[in-house]
């Protein structure tokens, strides 16, 4: 606007006429805020206050370990022990590290509502621009997309998925980027919610596969995780023995 000769208060007045096309809060007279990477920011902010931390300390692996520690250990005593262990393991100043991380704010209840496995399948379809890459989409989804584009029969693709793909003009591989979450879920899972994506098995084979692929320590509480896994194994044994392994009913764990 400055090349047009607008400066000072005139420029400010003109700028106030425009805003980002975000959800607008009329009561507060401002656009809705969309926080980004709050967890990563909080980790780095606190780590910056720890004494003598190397600039290149926080690798992806260490960040994941630190996040998992904070997210999964809910007992106060165990959490404090884990902080000291983490600092000792990576030769950090234990006192300053502990003081800066011991009051890390708790995560919201909806935090972690998507599994790591689901995120890795969904994100490649949601990315756009330089962050999108066809090769980052998992092979099973690539095959499904190819069949959607070519119109080939695929028993894993229901008519509603083909209809939604047609509605959004998803006609080539490069069209499958920048998708909203709900549409990415339909493409990958033929479902709209994470609640339907995980924890539901139509056959004993599906349950066994889930148990084999389950990533240890992926739940918040290790005790709860152990109980859940043992319960599922018992359910599998009962299903296999008394149901003869057949699809006798839809089993759902919540």
Taking only the tens place, the pLDDT of each residue in 218-246 is 666 667 777 888 888 888 888 887 776 66
Taking only the tens place, the pLDDT of each residue in 142-176 is 999 999 999 888 887 888 888 888 888 999 999 99
Q: With beta carbons less than 8 A apart as the criterion, state whether 83 and 102 touch.
A: yes
Strand partners, 200: 252
pTM score: 0.54
248 pLDDT more than 70:
no
DSSP string of 67-120, one letter each residue: HHHHHH--SHHHHHHHHHHHHHHTT--HHHHHHHHTTPPPPPTTTT-S-HHHHH
194 pLDDT more than 60:
no
Angle between helices 139-150 and 116-126 (to 10 degrees): 40
Q: Residue 114: which of 208, 35, 189 has the closest Cα?
A: 189
Strand partners, 24: 31
Q: Report how far apart, in Å, the C-alpha atoms of 58 and of each of 85, 101, 211 are.
A: 16, 15, 32
């Amino acid at each position: 606007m400055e090349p047009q000769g607008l400066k000072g208060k005139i420029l400010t007045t003109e700028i106030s006429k425009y805003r980002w096309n975000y959800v607008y809060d009329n009561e507060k007279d401002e656009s809705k805020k969309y926080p980004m990477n709050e967890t990563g920011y909080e980790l780095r902010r606190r780590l910056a206050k720890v004494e003598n931390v190397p600039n290149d300390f926080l690798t992806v692996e260490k960040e994941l370990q630190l996040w998992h520690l904070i997210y999964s250990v809910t007992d106060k005593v165990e959490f404090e022990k884990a902080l000291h262990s983490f600092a000792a393991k990576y030769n950090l100043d234990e006192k300053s590290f502990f003081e800066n991380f011991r009051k890390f704010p708790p995560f919201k209840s909806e935090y972690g509502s998507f599994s790591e496995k689901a995120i890795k399948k969904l994100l490649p379809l949601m990315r756009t621009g330089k962050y999108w890459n066809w090769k980052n989409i998992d092979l099973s989804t690539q095959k499904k997309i190819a069949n959607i584009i070519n119109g080939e029969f695929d028993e894993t693709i229901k008519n509603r998925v083909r209809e939604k793909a047609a509605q959004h003009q998803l006609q080539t591989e490069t069209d499958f980027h920048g998708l909203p979450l709900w549409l990415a879920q339909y493409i990958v899972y033929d479902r709209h919610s994470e609640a339907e994506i995980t924890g539901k098995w139509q056959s004993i084979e599906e349950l066994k596969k889930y148990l084999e692929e389950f990533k240890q320590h992926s739940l918040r509480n290790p005790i709860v995780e152990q109980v859940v896994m043992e319960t599922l194994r018992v359910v599998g044994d009962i299903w296999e023995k008394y149901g003869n392994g057949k699809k006798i009913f839809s089993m759902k764990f919540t």
